[in-house]
Amino acid sequence: MSESLSLVDLTVRFGETLAVDNVNLRLPTGVIGCLLGPSGCGKTSILRTVAGFESPGAGVVRLHGDTVAGAGWGHPPEQRRVGMIFQDLALFPHLTVADNIAFGLPRKPAEARRQRVQELLELVGLPGMGKRYPHHMSGGQQQRVAIARALAPRPDILLLDEPFSSLDVELRETLPRELRDILREAETTALLVTHDQAEAFAMADIVGVMQAGRLHQWDT
């Protein structure tokens, strides 16, 4: 099985603070992985380094076998074919749902954008809601819009940073499994970070436990 993501001896520092300490992991294509650990353990720093928002202090990041970052350097995020869902979802309140989803498709012809948006609305279970605005939708529906927007350009890997933390308890029990099903239907590789063990095991095929910047296991 090919690998979508490979981290080799990855180390990330912020000044004197060691955020990620010599982490190694491999994420096969089509698999959902999860980094589980408390706040400040380094899991979000790994996500940001894979996305291209931070550069390694040492080690390398490989996407589909291509080295995209090494000590002190990295390809810019737009060259990595990586999608990301942030903790606060980062939807544009002044844009409709359809326009939010289409935001990642600026170079596509108008008809191709429209078709892709409709396809994604069906995929995430929001058919016919393209003309609504995010503030007219529930938290769970907004989460689905964020997923659709991230999937719109067909990223090679999707990164999810504590995507359920702002939702109520009932949604946090059901949405991880629904998102897992969406990602599998879309045949998308994903790496999730969370502090919630139930979310990790509801969504992921492989779970890694992080503590103080180190990855202590990476198992199915």
pLDDT above 90 for 171: no
88 in a structural domain: no
pLDDT above 70 for 220: no
With a pLDDT cut of 70, the percent of the chain lying above it is 99
Residues 68 and 108 in one domain: no
Alpha-carbon distance of 17 to 33, in angstroms, equals: 26
Residues 13 and 45 in one domain: yes
127 in a structural domain: yes
Residues 161 and 182 in one domain: yes
Residues 164 and 147 in one domain: no
Structure tokens at 31: 């698999």
Residue 137: strand, helix, or coil = coil
Residue 33: strand, helix, or coil = strand
Q: Write down the mean pLDDT value for the chain.
A: 93
173 in a structural domain: yes
Alpha-carbon distance of 159 to 147, in angstroms, equals: 10
Any idea of the CA torsion for 55, 48, 33, 23, to the nearest 10 degrees? 40
Q: How confident is the model at residue 87 (pLDDT cuts 50, 70, 90)?
A: confident
Residues 145 and 171 in one domain: no
Alpha-carbon distance of 110 to 98, in angstroms, equals: 12
Q: Which residues contact 6 (CB under 8 A, 6 or more apart)?
A: 25, 26, 27, 61, 62, 65
pLDDT attached to residue 75: 96
pLDDT attached to residue 165: 79
What are the tens digits of pLDDT across the range 150-168? 999 999 999 999 988 777 7
Residues 24 and 69 in one domain: yes
pLDDT attached to residue 1: 67
**Mean pLDDT of the region 196-202:** 92
Structure tokens at 30: 């089509």
DSSP state, residue 44: H
Alpha-carbon distance of 76 to 51, in angstroms, equals: 8
What are the tens digits of pLDDT across the range 40-73? 999 999 999 999 999 999 999 999 999 999 999 9
The structural domain count of the chain equals 2
Alpha-carbon distance of 199 to 217, in angstroms, equals: 17
Residues 214 and 194 in one domain: yes
Residues 173 and 196 in one domain: yes
Residues 8 and 76 in one domain: yes
Cα distance between the two ends of the chain: 15
91 in a structural domain: no
90 in a structural domain: no
Domain containing 45 equals 3-81+155-219
